[in-house]
A = this chain, B = another copy of it.
Amino acid sequence: MKALVTIRFKDGVLDPEAVAIGRALQGLGFAEVRSVRREKLIELDLETDDREHARARVGAMCEQLLANPVIESYRIELPDGGPAA
């Protein structure tokens, strides 16, 4: 089954790359850009059909590798239909 993980900086954490993108857009003449935020999206294909198990495992992946829980928050989605455990 597929799992989607969306990772973003927590509110209040400065994202220098987003700031740089905003400045670069302004410099290119896109004066209407007020602010820029970035998120990372990671799509995992998992060898399991157990939604509850998948959610727990992907949570562990986020804590151990995918996200930095100090400054980032993450959201896990399991878009496939099927029985929720």
Residues of A within 8 A of B (CB): 6, 18, 21, 24-25, 28, 30-48, 57, 60-61, 64-66
Contacts and interface: CB of A to CB of B under 8 A. Distances in A.
B21 A65 contact: yes
B46 A38 contact: no
Closest 10 CB pairs of A and B: A39-B41, A34-B45, A37-B43, A32-B47, A35-B45, A32-B46, A32-B48, A41-B41, A34-B47, A38-B42
13 contacts: A18-B42, A21-B65, A25-B61, A25-B65, A28-B61, A30-B57, A33-B45, A34-B47, A36-B43, A37-B43, A38-B43, A39-B40, A40-B41
B32 A57 contact: yes
